[in-house]
Structure 1
């Protein structure tokens, strides 16, 4: 029954997509960025919501506490490209944000980002996550994100689709490599890794502060660190997406585990070996290195 209402994947300018992310394409491409906007870009399930929350706390801290306790994060930090029947398009939500800087998120590959972000020299933060943990987390999201993503099938089916790049937002390889390449020509792009955030959140927060030109006290950083622990976010109804109607929480949770190496609980030895072989063929840039364990 659930699968009957799910959208079909289709090729959109060379990238597999569903219509919920392309219906407002002119609006996305013509979106007017501002110089102080912050765009957070990731492949799905690579820490976008986590990073959004960190940035909110870094910029607004106590100033917007009521805001953070009453408005869900998906409304505070809109997904630029999304268009759902019951909500405003992401572009309109971003236009109406009252906070400054505006924090906006996207899962778009680099070639789809509205040109105004580059023209305005807006700050962009990209978070990359290792492919094995990404595919596990993406599988669980696709199970629970009823009516918005195609039916994922079983684990093995989804794993092969992911390897072939036949999932929403396309190839993980193209995504992480495209943004990595852009970093070398666009100086206002901070490329960070999910595994580093897990390993030492405080260190990565310091790097973000440096990139954003922020100066925070030790106490402020400590407070942020405690709020962005996965256990805290899991219990925070304004962050954990439990108020979002399009998710089936009987299948999974949105803020799931936040672990590096959880893929070992899903990949068989044969699947892992086949994936590693495929990875060697597709990861052409030796300077881009991901860790599957820490």
Structure 2
């Protein structure tokens, strides 16, 4: 299938299908007990409308594109952020295997576009920073991928506390087991292997590829790593927002 080109919506590149439905998406009616789970990718209005409450909804939208009703209804939001280097390389492989995304070109070409925010869902820096700042005035639990890898029990408990839930140890252990990367990678409900190869070609790369912290070291040159460090220091400076690139 021919790879579609993204469309700009309020300065941010989005999937063409998302952009074509933007009128409906922007007017989406949130409910007070909705839980919105958000992240920068490497993540249909009609279906969401039909879901019974309480709904668990997933989005990659940046703060400025989230439908106003989510703020008006004071919906709880969980945001998951991953360090920029691992995100960039993971997103590159995702573009390579996902035929609904633009061709990434070479790694060097993709990295330049990624750093310029010229990829679907826009700038990683703007995304993580805007959600970090939004938590000051909205019920947002901001989690880090690296913390979830290092101590899943602690992060799952944070989620339970945020949602006002009590988790018996037996349930907590079951959640930890079911959400390990290896289990999710082998689960057709989460690994997208049910989609045809014309949409996602798993012979190019698995949807759930490695899931480790520090995989970027296999791809980044020293110059690229240092350049990204400098950009991160500038873009995120003064926010208090820091990321770990290895464990």
Q: Which of 85, 104, 107 is residue 152 of structure 1 equivalent to?
A: 104
Runs of 4+ in 1 over 3 A off after TM superposition: none
- Distance in structure 2 (CA, Å) of the matches to 1:251 and 1:20: 24
- Distance in structure 2 (CA, Å) of the matches to 1:113 and 1:274: 31
Deviation at 1:143, TM superposition (A): 0.5
Q: How does 1:1-294 map to 2 (within 5 A)?
A: 5-45=2-42, 48=43, 90-98=44-52, 100-146=53-99, 148-186=100-138, 188-245=139-196, 246-294=199-247
Contact 1:177 1:285 in 2 (8 A): no
Deviation at 1:105, TM superposition (A): 0.4
CA distance 1:110–1:286, shift in 2 (3 Å)? closer
Q: Secondary structure at the match of 2:148?
A: helix
Q: Secondary structure at the match of 1:105?
A: strand
CA distance 1:27–1:243, shift in 2 (3 Å)? same
Deviation at 1:183, TM superposition (A): 0.5
Gaps of 5+ in 2: none
Report the TM-score when normalising by structure 2: 0.95
Q: Which has the higher contact order (CA 8 A, sep 6+)?
A: 1
Give the superposed CA RMSD. 1.2
- Distance in structure 1 (CA, Å) of the matches to 2:82 and 2:238: 16
> Number of aligned pairs?
245
Contact 2:8 2:19 in 1 (8 A): no
Q: Secondary structure at the match of 2:121?
A: coil
- Distance in structure 2 (CA, Å) of the matches to 1:181 and 1:286: 8
Deviation at 1:28, TM superposition (A): 0.6
- Distance in structure 2 (CA, Å) of the matches to 1:277 and 1:30: 39
Q: Secondary structure at the match of 1:11?
A: strand
- Distance in structure 1 (CA, Å) of the matches to 2:66 and 2:33: 16
- Distance in structure 1 (CA, Å) of the matches to 2:246 and 2:16: 35
Q: Deviations over 1:59-87 (max 9, x none)?
A: xxxxxxxxxxxxxxxxxxxxxxxxxxxxx
- Distance in structure 2 (CA, Å) of the matches to 1:213 and 1:38: 12
- Distance in structure 1 (CA, Å) of the matches to 2:62 and 2:33: 21
Report the TM-score when normalising by structure 1: 0.81
Q: Secondary structure at the match of 1:22?
A: helix
- Distance in structure 2 (CA, Å) of the matches to 1:251 and 1:275: 26
Deviation at 1:283, TM superposition (A): 1.9
